[in-house]
């Protein structure tokens, strides 16, 4: 549970410090630089992003055809 909170905090810091929306891949890469843990995966980051979106802490939107891409930005 402690790691989940740390992961969520890291994601929020990254999104809140950005002036532009970020793709899931960009957030994942930034989290890996911050956390430096092997256990951080794209799936875990995406899961946390959706929880934060559900809690109303960030906004997210699916864009693009096919598998597409999710973009994320801070709640203003």
pLDDT of 3 over the 70 cut: no
For 23-66, write each residue's pLDDT tens digit.
999 999 999 988 766 778 899 999 999 999 999 999 999 997 77
| pTM of the entire predicted model | 0.87
d(CA 18, CA 22): 8
Strand order in the sheet with 22-23: 22-23, 69-74, 58-63
Torsion of the alpha carbons at 71, 22, 1 and 43, rounded to the nearest 10: 60
Fold held by 2-74: Arc Repressor Mutant, subunit A (1.10.10)
pLDDT at 62: 94
pLDDT at 44: 92
pLDDT of 1 over the 60 cut: no
């Amino acid at each position: 549970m402690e790691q989940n909170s740390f992961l969520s905090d890291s994601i929020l810091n990254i999104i809140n410090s950005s002036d532009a929306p970020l793709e899931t891949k960009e957030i994942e890469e930034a989290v890996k630089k911050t956390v430096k843990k092997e256990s951080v995966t794209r799936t875990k980051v995406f899961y946390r992003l959706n929880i934060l979106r559900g809690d109303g802490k960030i906004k997210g939107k699916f864009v693009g055809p096919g598998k597409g891409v999710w973009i994320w930005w801070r709640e203003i």
